[in-house]
A and B are shown apart, each in its own frame.
Chain A
Amino acid sequence: MLDNDYQISRQVTYRGMVWLLAAQLIVMLPFAFNLPVWLVPVMLAATYWRIRVIKGHSAQPKLLVRLFVITLGVAGVLASDMTLLSLDTMVSLLLLGFAFKSLEVVKQRDALVVVFIGYFLVAISFLFSQSILAGAYGVISLIILTGALIANQQSPAQQLSQYATRSSLSTAALMLLQCLPLMALVFVLMPRFSPLWVIPSFESHAKTGVGDTMAPGDIANLSKSDELAFRVSFTDKTPAADELYWRGLVLNHFDGVTWSQLEHEYDTEDLKSELSFKQPWESDNIELRGDPMEYEAIYEKTGQPWLFTLTPTTRASGKILQLGDYRVMSRGDIQSSLLMKAISYPDAIRDVELTDYSRKVALQLPETGNPKSRELAKQWRAEAGSDQAYIDKVLDHYHQENYYYTLRPPLLGDSDTIDKFLFESLRGFCSHYSGSFVFLMRAAGIPARIVVGYLGGEWSESGDFVSIRQYDAHAWTEVWLAGKGWVRIDPTARVAPSRVEGGLEAAVEYEGSFLEDQLFSVRQFKWLDGIRAKMDAIQYGWKRWILGYDKASQANLLKMILDKLSSVPLAALVGLLFLGIFLLWFVMLGLMKKRSYEAYEHRLYRKFCKQLEKRGIKREPKQTATEFALLASQKVPDKADDILSFSLLYQRLCYEPNGTTDGQDSLKKMRRLLRQIA
């Protein structure tokens, strides 16, 4: 009714502004968890300022003031501890602009700009978090934003209605609901292109998960977190608990205190190039044995490239890097949940031949340090006679001596840590045992290395998948023996067998140190376990089917559907789908129910009108039965009697209080007359 220019140039109303501010706050809220904290008061202050302006307590800020505020804000972003041109900086700037934009919203056009930026920000917030909660929150944000959009398009009179807020909200929800089928269709069928650009990494996110070095004490820190690391589901058979060694990275270099991957300092790219050059994946160095094990893992965002797989994983999907030490790495850092399918042959013999480089790094020891341990190794190796016997002897030593598994080991100082552990403290956890074991092996000339990853995991209630959490972090060892290849040996198992079979919780039960620092962890409350397990299963479904729905899943799904259905049923299915949507639409528009509410005589009368319309006599809504009958009888003289009697019967039936006594009879007569007129 109103032309467009008028609509756009209209002033934003008070109510429209309140809607807009509410939507802005709701959109900006989730960013408060990820971006500099000072943005929160700035956002609130901008909102408060704008509210003062609409209430008339403050004046609309002048251009100079606005410029000053913007300069201050930009300076604040630049001064914050963020790299220039990183995603965080850009999002912060956008948020700042978004918050300040409300200060200059005057025309309806400005309001539209704010709402559209809001939509964009909702999408951006998913870069930070992709959990179900974030999804639900996103939906709420969308409803409020759309509500604000509607409220700003309503005429002032519509806004005055007391139901205006509810009607804007319900309209918004209904609109989004109507989008749902299309959204589902697009989600399932839209081709998944890889992005043309790479999202710069989030520096504000601390890297989580296992580190790439191991000094005594590192893994104990992980043991304090019950955060999810990844989940795995197996296709057909499920391995035993003591088979679930999830290999992450391999530590070869020991400098006397710390175990690390390479001799020198490196960043991730150096590591990848050096490892793929010096220890490339060689599939012919494996002798496959036993049955393959197929599994599917969903890794949580860590900001690191490590993937955790069963050993040896021979094939894996996605952008991954397989290396000669049987680890699997992601080509880039994991910035969002990652789905990977893999096949593993647990019984295979790895490294039938040991390359010179591998042998060299697997025997590396510092020149000096830990003299007692070296001495002990030489002595025992000589006593044992063979490598295997030596290994057994060392393991028996852990078993028989008074070693003690604890998450609260004494500090070992800066040098000769192996000696101190083996001869003095005898207390420690996996990193102590594996470190000392590898040291003893190498000192006796047996190639050995430390593997860091996770052990075990918790099966879901239904047994569909295993959840591996940070406290499942573990370190174990591998020893190379001629004819057997690399053999996994877990010295911790000798000290605390329950660590392998029952997980960390069981291993430190007597000590009570399981997640002792996490006061508010749900794990502390046994009675919540059932709910936790359910939540876990829902989260898994979300990760697996929504976030993990990639090109490959899409192809699989389509193939499955198309294989099952030939083209005819498929066409029928699509047709039915559309029919269903249209039916729903009709019901929503109320077209289906309008007629059926009408009494029979009115329906008869409408038929009567239709008959006359065929003869070119159309009834105006205003015309009463008598008026119309007179008009029609003049135009169709040969049916005049029937028309007049029909109309009279109808009028009597409808309006005369005593005319309804012979209602059925009148209706019968009306039907007969109608036939005659036709």
Chain B
Amino acid sequence: MTQTAQQLIHNASAQLNHVILGKPNQVRLALTALFAGGHLLLEDLPGMGKTTLAHGLANVFGLDYKRVQFTSDLLPADVVGATVFDGKTSEFNFRPGPIFSEIFLADELNRATPRAQSALLEAMEERQVSIDGESHHLPDPFFVIATQNPQSQSGTFPLPESQLDRFLLRVSLGYPTPEVERKLLQGKHGRGSLAAMQTCITQEQLIALQHQVPKIKMTDALLDYVQRLIAQTRERDLCLLGLSPRGALALIRSAQSWALIQGRDHVLPEDVQAVFVAVAGHRLVGRRETQGDQLARHILNTVDVIGGVRV
């Protein structure tokens, strides 16, 4: 971990924290997802600053940014693009959709029909789009931020578990504290200051950081702890649906990424704990209507950090 990299990350989060007031943890989780090469799901009520965060991220990294407002009449072609007939050349040309961007913001994803949702989610997983038998690669880095209203609201199509699994982290912003709210009301921060942001991490630097994440080391004692957590999510009395192996990989990748942001070359249990709710919350299905978040928190509170087998 070079000093400059640490400096870069610090600058980035400082700028973001200026835009999204009072949510350093959520900002750090967003960066975690970005460095880990995963996608981010922001779930909150309308008007909590989801779009602002997405916008801020794009600005800080100087990335190409496009945004689509998902509605119930949105078609897959509106997202991924379509082949269009060109009258002059008499040829069919592929016109890329908004998804061909480095940061793609899918606003209110759960308002779109499952058909449109799955077009996006397929692109997220494959990192390419196939249209008329032709594959088109998406740019690298490719980072999807989807925002979603809580499903209890009317006119939404809840994402099925299999698609939720595609998102590395799910983060809720939540109401601001009174002090923060006061500052917001005074108008010095928030969306208005987006334009003042400067790019502080280049695309190359971002890719280099992303390559560093898998190299963050994990000891047996740490993996023991992770496995204890995973085993607990699979306890039948507790969860109907536990963490899949993909979920488990997401957990350690996120923990590594978090450790990187903290400037360490190894993962501590603290890192795992910091990302656990964001990783597991949308993947777990509890028994008796328990919210996944609550369940994840409960598991975190009951599983012992200490202990493990000496190999």
Q: Is A598's CB under 8 angstroms from B219's CB?
A: no
Q: How far is the CA of A651 from the CA of B270 in the complex (A)?
A: 11
CA distance A669 to B91 in the complex (A): 77
Q: Which B residues touch A157, using CB under 8 A?
A: 236, 240, 287
Whether A655 pairs with B221 at a CB distance below 8 angstroms is yes
* A621 B304 Cβ-Cβ under 8 A: yes
Given A157-B240, A656-B219, A626–B305 Cβ distance below 8 Å? no
In the complex, residue of chain A having the shortest beta-carbon distance to the beta carbon of B311: A599
A624 interface contact, C-beta 8 A: yes
B1 at the binding interface (Cβ < 8 Å): no
Q: How far is the CA of A69 from the CA of B251 in the complex (A)?
A: 61
Complex: A622 Cα to B265 Cα, angstroms: 23
Distance, CA A598 to CA B307, complexed state (A): 6
Asked if A654 is at the interface of the complex by the 8 Å CB criterion, the answer is yes
Instruction: Contact check, A602 vs B308: say whether CB atoms are below 8 A apart.
Output: yes
B266 / chain A contacts, CB cutoff of 8 Å: 655-657
With the chains together, A651 CA to B267 CA distance in Å? 11
How many angstroms from the CA of A157 to the CA of B309 in the assembled complex? Answer: 31
Is B222 interfacial (CB-CB < 8 Å)? yes
Most buried by A among B221, B267, B306: B306
Q: Which of B31-39, B54-62, B169-177, B295-303 contacts A (4 or more CB under 8 A)?
A: B295-303
Closest to A656 in B: B266
CB of A605 closer than 8 Å to a CB of B: yes
Complex interface bits, A591-610 against B, C-beta within 8 A gives 1, otherwise 0: 00000011111100110010
Question: Contact: B301 with A620, CB < 8 Å?
Answer: yes
Query: A625 at interface (Cβ–Cβ under 8 A)?
Result: yes
Contact check, B270 vs A624: say whether CB atoms are below 8 A apart. Answer: yes
Which residues of chain B come closer than 8 Å to A602, judged between CB atoms?
221, 306-308
A621–B301 CB distance below 8 A? yes
B305 contacts A621, C-beta separation under 8 Å:
yes
The distance from the CB of B189 to the nearest CB of chain A, in whole angstroms, is 31
What's the count of A-B pairs with C-beta under 8 Å?
A: 68
Q: B268 near A655 (CB under 8 angstroms)?
A: yes
- Whether A158 and B310, one on each chain, are in contact in the complex, defined by CB atoms closer than 8 angstroms, is no
* B301 / chain A contacts, CB cutoff of 8 Å: 620-622
B273 within 8 A of A: yes
Q: Cβ of A661 < 8 Å from any Cβ of B?
A: no
**Does B214 reach chain A (CB closer than 8 Å)?**
no
- B188 part of interface (Cβ distance < 8 Å): no
Interface bin, chain A:
20 to 34
State the CA gap A625–B307 with chains docked (Å). 11
Q: Judge whether A386 is part of the interface by a CB distance below 8 angstroms.
A: no
* Listed residue (B273, B302, B303, B310) with the most chain A CB atoms within 10 angstroms of its CB: B310
Q: How far is the CA of A15 from the CA of B219 in the complex (A)?
A: 44
Question: Which residues of A sit under 8 angstroms from B304, Cβ to Cβ?
Answer: 621
For residue B305, which residue of chain A has the nearest CB? A624
Q: Are B287 and A651 touching (Cβ within 8 A)?
A: no
Q: How far does the alpha carbon of A606 sit from the alpha carbon of B221 in the complex, in Å?
A: 15
Counting CB contacts under 8 A, is A402 at the interface?
no
Distance A49 CA – B130 CA, assembled complex (angstroms): 54
CA distance A601 to B220 in the complex (A): 13
Of all chain A residues, the one with the shortest Cβ separation from B222 is A655
Q: In the complex the two chains form, is B305's CB within 8 Å of A625's CB?
A: yes
Q: Which of A656-670 contact B (CB under 8 A)?
A: 656-657, 660
Cα–Cα distance between A623 and B222 once the two chains are bound (Å): 14
- On whether the beta carbons of A161 and B305 are closer than 8 Å, the reply is no
State the majority secondary structure of interface residues on B. loop
Measured CB to CB, the closest approach of chain B to A596, in angstroms, equals 11
Q: Is the CB of B306 within 8 A of A605?
A: yes
CB distance from B161 to the nearest CB of A (A): 16
Within the complex, the shortest CB–CB distance from B215 to chain A, in Å, comes to 11
Contact A654/B219 with A157-B236, A621-B302, A621-B303 known, Cβ cut-off 8 Å: yes
Q: Which residues of B contact A599 (CB under 8 A)?
A: 221, 308-310
Q: What is the bound-complex CA distance between A625 and B268, given in angstroms?
A: 10
Interface 1/0 per residue, A644-656 and B, CB below 8 Å: 0000000100111
B269 in the interface, Cβ–Cβ < 8 Å? yes
CB distance from B56 to the nearest CB of A (A): 31
A625 touches which one: B217, B240, B306, B310 (CB < 8 A)?
B306
A655's partner among B219, B273, B303, B310 (CB-CB below 8 A) is B219
**Nearest opposing residue in chain A for B270, CB measure:** A624
Q: Tell whether, in the assembled complex, residue A622 and residue B305 are in contact, meaning their CB atoms are under 8 Å apart.
A: yes
**Bound CA span A161–B237, Å:** 12
Residues of B within 8 Å of A161, CB to CB, are 236
Tell which of B240, B300, B303, B308 has the most Cβ of chain A within 10 Å. B308
Chain A residues closer than 8 Å to B310, beta-carbon distance: 598-601
Query: A624, B309: Cβ atoms under 8 Å?
Result: no
- Cβ of A655 and Cβ of B267 under 8 Å apart? yes
Residues of B within 8 A of A626 (CB): 268, 270
Could you mark each residue 102-137 of chain A with 1 if its beta carbon is under 8 Å from any beta carbon of chain B, else 0?
A: 000000000000000000000000000000000000
Whether B219 contacts A158 by the Cβ 8 Å rule is: no
Smallest Cβ-Cβ distance to A161: which chain B residue: B236
Nearest to A605 among chain B residues (CB) is: B306
User: Among residues 611 to 626 in chain A, which have CB atoms less than 8 Å away from a CB atom of chain B?
Assistant: 619-626
Q: Which residues of B contact A621 (CB under 8 A)?
A: 301-305
Residues of A within 8 A of B273 (CB): 622, 624
A651 vs B305: C-alpha distance in the bound complex, in angstroms? 11
Q: Which chain A residue has the least Cβ–Cβ distance from B302?
A: A621
On chain A, the residues within 8 Å of B219 by CB distance are 654-657, 660
Q: When the two chains form their complex, are residues B308 and A622 in contact, meaning their CB atoms are under 8 A apart?
A: no
Chain A residues lying within 8 Å of B267, measured Cβ to Cβ, are 655
Residue interface bits B118-153, CB-to-A below 8 A is 1, else 0: 000000000000000000000000000000000000
B225–chain A nearest beta-carbon distance, Å: 9
Q: Is the CB of B305 within 8 A of A623?
A: yes
Residue from the set A601, A621, A625 with the largest chain B CB neighbour count within 10 Å: A621
B246 to chain A minimum Cβ distance, whole angstroms, is 20
A605 to B304, CA, bound (A): 12
Q: How far is the CA of A651 from the CA of B309 in the complex (A)?
A: 15
Q: Which residues 205-239 of B have a CB within 8 angstroms of A?
A: 217-219, 221-222, 236
Give, as a whole number of angstroms, the nearest-CB distance from B16 to chain A. 26
Closest Cβ neighbor of A621 among chain B residues: B304
Q: How far is A161 from B218 in the complex, measured between Cα atoms in Å?
A: 33
Min CB gap A647→B, angstroms: 11
Q: Is the CB of A651 within 8 A of B268?
A: yes
Which of A157, A609, A627, A657 gathers the greatest number of chain B CB atoms within 10 Å? A657
Whether B307 lies near A624 (C-beta < 8 A) is no
- Closest CB-CB distance, A551 to chain B, in whole Å? 49
* 8 Å CB interface, A557-615 against B: 597-602, 605-606, 609
Chain A residue nearest in CB terms to B219: A655
Complex Cα–Cα for A657 and B256 (A): 14
**CB within 8 A of B309: which of A597, A625, A655?**
A597
Known: A158-B236, A598-B309, A621-B302. 7 other contacts (CB 8 A): A599-B221, A600-B310, A619-B306, A622-B300, A622-B301, A624-B268, A625-B306
Residues of A within 8 A of B (CB): 157-158, 161, 597-602, 605-606, 609, 619-627, 651, 654-657, 660
7 CB contacts below 8 A, A to B, read: A157-B240, A161-B236, A600-B310, A622-B301, A624-B268, A624-B270, A654-B308
Interface residues of B (CB under 8 A from A): 217-219, 221-222, 236, 240, 265-270, 273, 287, 300-310
Task: List 7 A-B pairs, minimum CB-CB distance, nearest first.
Answer: A599-B310, A654-B221, A657-B217, A621-B304, A624-B269, A622-B301, A602-B307
